[in-house]
């Protein structure tokens, strides 16, 4: 029950669940360092009380000095060990979690990536991990401080029970104020994180829409005002959390000054306590004030770390839910299928919005795709061509109907292998500057292709990467084409690849490049509006409001 109120609870649980390191050793060293620190106080206090006796019995002075030196050495060794190892441990944990989430993201589904804001992912994997990293060493230093505190309190109890009760009351009051404020600080920080994601969204709009806002000052101003509003909200929330944190810190400090005043000026008035005990008690309290300030002062950091852990966990949970447990598996060593035929039988698909309400629908689609064909797909904007391609390539799953590959039903186990059949240039393709996934690249072959595609002098392939990808839209598409054909897949899909090309290249694309691929035994699907070249295809399919037809015959 009480653990609910433990500062940095989530962070400690997080480290505990993720750590690969021998935590027991770390915790025991941490405890030894705290105990040693407490014992050092005892030696100092007792040594101080015996200064008068040292001249009479010199060996006592030596004895205390030796004890002091031994404890100090042990303290230095254990404290250094704990803090150093804690720093390494936290980085190991963060590495593990970060890379695990990154790995899970690549295993998730396209629909999840399309629906999730990139800012949320960046924010968690970048900002939150930094926050955890910053807080973790302080957490371990605080654990040491807490253990030292416990031991000092045992010493104080042995010294005087009333003094002990007074000190515990002061600590208890500090902790009570913390608990009162904890929830509010935590909520404010959590809300601030959500706002920060919107801030990154707006920043992304500024960068991605830079051309548009540069041309339109009102638009630019409006976007900036929106961003400013978000930043103001973040500032307000974080400031309020900061003020509440200062409140907690100040209170704990004030309680201690009140405690010292009580011990020094009020307590002796009621009770003729031994001045020696009062001095030792005051020294003990001053001794624990540093660690206590560290503890109370670190509370805001612990809360921030807990919020960060929460965000990371939530992101991972979302990714887990979205990936539905399907694994990509290891990359295949051989071609998983030799493509002969893909058949769609009454395949339907539909988008749903965040509330689960049905949006655009595709199907029922009946389609037969055979080895070696060149198929063109035509259709108006928003008719569902790209959606159909995502269904065909296994990026979306049908909500009903069947897909078979070479007569075999395409079930979840086959999807990862099935996707390997395709290489595709989408209309919103991403141009990689390295040829990831292509082994033993022959640079001269790549450079010959670059020349063939009219990109000589614009970019070159060197040291496994293209020297330049800052090209015109049409040129970038040609480079994407090169990337795709080098993948040497069985089915090539080009979504409006020719749309941004000049008439000369367009003619070459339809009359030379596509027939060349066909000759190599490739199957080709191209989304196109170039009716002039329809004759170069074996078949022309048409999409219209999610319905597929061939030569005007629906459901072919």
Ligand X SMILES: Nc1ncnc2c1ncn2[C@@H]1O[C@H](COP(=O)(O)OP(=O)(O)OP(=O)(O)O)[C@@H](O)[C@H]1O
Which residue ranges make up the site for ligand X (CB under 6 A)? 114, 351, 359-360, 379, 381-387, 427, 543
In three-state form (DSSP H/G/I as H, E/B as E, the rest C), the secondary structure along 126-179 is HHHHHHHHHHHHHHHHHHHHHHHHHHHHHHHHHHCHHHHHHHHHHHHHHHHHHH
Rounded least distance, CB 546 to ligand X, Å: 7
Q: Nearest Cα to 190, choosing from 10, 323, 320, 15?
A: 10
Which phi and psi (to 5°) does residue 8 adopt? 60, 25
Residue 539, classed as helix, strand or coil, is strand
Rounded least distance, CB 531 to ligand X, Å: 15
Report CA torsion sign: 53, 54, 60, 63.
positive
Q: Which is nearer to ligand X, 283 or 499 (CB)?
A: 499
Question: Residues, the chain, total?
Answer: 556
Rounded least distance, CB 113 to ligand X, Å: 10
Report CA torsion sign: 140, 146, 147, 152.
positive
DSSP for residue 395: S
Rounded least distance, CB 385 to ligand X, Å: 4
Contact (CB, 8 A) for 320 and 326: no
Rounded least distance, CB 110 to ligand X, Å: 9
Rounded least distance, CB 547 to ligand X, Å: 12
Q: Which alpha helices (H) appear in 262-369, and where do they start and end?
A: 267-270, 275-323
CA 126 to chain centre: 6
Q: Which is nearer to ligand X, 291 or 379 (CB)?
A: 379
Rounded least distance, CB 542 to ligand X, Å: 11
- d(C-alpha 241, C-alpha 194), whole Å: 15
Rounded least distance, CB 315 to ligand X, Å: 20
Q: Which is nearer to ligand X, 328 or 358 (CB)?
A: 358
- Please, which residues bridge with residue 127 across strands? none
Q: Which is nearer to ligand X, 127 or 386 (CB)?
A: 386
- d(C-alpha 495, C-alpha 485), whole Å: 14
The pairing of beta strand 491-495 with beta strand 422-425: parallel
Q: Which is nearer to ligand X, 217 or 354 (CB)?
A: 354
Which phi and psi (to 5°) does residue 530 adopt? -85, 80
Q: Which is nearer to ligand X, 385 or 489 (CB)?
A: 385
Which phi and psi (to 5°) does residue 543 adopt? -105, 135
Q: Which is nearer to ligand X, 387 or 501 (CB)?
A: 387
- Distance set, CA 524 to CA 254, 408, 536 (Å): 77, 21, 11
What tokens appear for 487 in the block?
């993948």
Rounded least distance, CB 389 to ligand X, Å: 8
Rounded least distance, CB 14 to ligand X, Å: 33
- Distance set, CA 114 to CA 109, 118, 354 (Å): 9, 9, 12
What tokens appear for 136 in the block?
């973790």
- d(C-alpha 75, C-alpha 66), whole Å: 14
Contact (CB, 8 A) for 498 and 476: no
Q: Which is nearer to ligand X, 188 or 496 (CB)?
A: 496
CA 234 to chain centre: 20
What tokens appear for 402 in the block?
């069947």
CB-neighbour burial class of residue 242 (10 A; exposed 0-12, middle 13-18, buried 19+): middle
Q: Which is nearer to ligand X, 254 or 499 (CB)?
A: 499
Residue 423, classed as helix, strand or coil, is strand
Rounded least distance, CB 330 to ligand X, Å: 29
Q: Which alpha helices (H) appear in 420-537, and where do they start and end?
A: 443-452, 473-486, 503-508, 514-519
Q: Which is nearer to ligand X, 359 or 444 (CB)?
A: 359
Q: Which is nearer to ligand X, 93 or 424 (CB)?
A: 424
Rounded least distance, CB 521 to ligand X, Å: 28
What tokens appear for 309 in the block?
């852990």
Rounded least distance, CB 210 to ligand X, Å: 24
Report CA torsion sign: 5, 11, 13, 14.
positive
Q: Which is nearer to ligand X, 285 or 322 (CB)?
A: 322
Q: Which is nearer to ligand X, 18 or 109 (CB)?
A: 109
């Amino acid at each position: 029950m009480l653990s609910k109120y433990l500062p940095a609870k989530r962070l400690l649980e997080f480290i505990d669940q993720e750590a690969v390191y021998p935590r027991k050793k770390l915790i025991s060293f941490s405890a030894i360092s705290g105990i040693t620190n407490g014992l050092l106080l005892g030696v100092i206090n007792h040594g101080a009380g015996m200064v008068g006796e040292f001249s009479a019995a010199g060996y006592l002075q030596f004895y205390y000095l030796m004890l002091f030196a031994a404890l100090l050495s042990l303290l230095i060794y254990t404290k250094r060990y704990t803090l150093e190892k804690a720093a390494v441990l936290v980085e190991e944990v963060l590495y593990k979690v970060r890379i695990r989430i990154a790995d899970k993201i690549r295993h998730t589904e396209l629909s999840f990536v399309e629906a999730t804001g990139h800012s949320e992912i960046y924010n968690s994997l970048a900002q939150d991990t930094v926050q955890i990293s910053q807080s973790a060493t302080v957490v371990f230093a605080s654990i040491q401080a807490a253990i030292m505190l416990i031991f000092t309190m045992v010493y104080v109890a042995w010294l005087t029970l009333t003094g002990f009760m007074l000190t515990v009351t002061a600590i208890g009051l500090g902790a009570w104020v913390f608990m009162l404020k904890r929830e509010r600080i935590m909520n404010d920080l959590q809300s601030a994180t959500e706002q920060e994601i919107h801030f990154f969204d707006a920043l992304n709009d500024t960068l991605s829409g830079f051309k548009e806002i540069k041309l339109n000052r009102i638009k630019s101003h409006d976007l900036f005002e929106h961003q400013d509003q978000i930043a103001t909200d973040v500032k307000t929330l974080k400031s309020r959390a900061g003020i509440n944190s200062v409140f907690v810190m100040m209170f704990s400090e004030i309680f201690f000054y009140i405690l010292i005043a009580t011990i020094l000026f009020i307590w002796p008035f009621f009770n003729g306590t031994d001045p020696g005990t009062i001095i030792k008690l005051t020294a003990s309290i001053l001794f624990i004030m540093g660690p206590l300030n560290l503890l109370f002062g670190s509370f805001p950091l612990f809360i921030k770390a807990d919020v960060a852990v929460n965000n990371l966990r939530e992101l991972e949970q979302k990714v887990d839910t979205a990936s539905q447990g399907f694994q990509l598996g290891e990359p295949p060593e051989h071609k998983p299928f030799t493509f002969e035929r893909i058949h769609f039988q009454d395949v339907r698909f539909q988008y749903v919005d965040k509330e689960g309400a049905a949006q655009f629908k595709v199907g029922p689609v009946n389609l037969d795709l055979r080895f070696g064909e060149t198929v063109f797909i035509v259709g108006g904007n928003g008719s569902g061509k790209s959606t159909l391609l995502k269904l065909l390539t296994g990026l979306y799953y049908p909500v009903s109907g069947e897909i078979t590959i070479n007569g075999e039903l395409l079930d979840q186990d086959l999807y990862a292998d099935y996707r390997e059949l395709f290489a595709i240039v989408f209309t919103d393709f991403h141009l990689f500057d390295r040829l990831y996934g292509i082994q033993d690249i022959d640079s001269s072959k790549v450079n010959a292709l670059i020349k063939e595609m009219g990109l000589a002098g614009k970019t070159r392939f060197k040291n496994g990467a293209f020297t330049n990808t800052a090209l015109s839209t049409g040129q970038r598409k040609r480079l994407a084409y090169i990337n795709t054909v080098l993948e040497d897949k069985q089915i090539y899909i080009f979504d409006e690849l020719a749309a941004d090309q000049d008439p000369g290249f367009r003619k070459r694309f339809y009359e030379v490049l596509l027939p060349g691929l066909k000759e190599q035994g490739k199957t080709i699907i191209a989304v196109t509006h170039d009716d002039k070249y329809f004759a170069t295809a074996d078949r022309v399919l048409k999409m219209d409001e999610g319905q597929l037809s061939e030569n005007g015959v629906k459901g072919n």
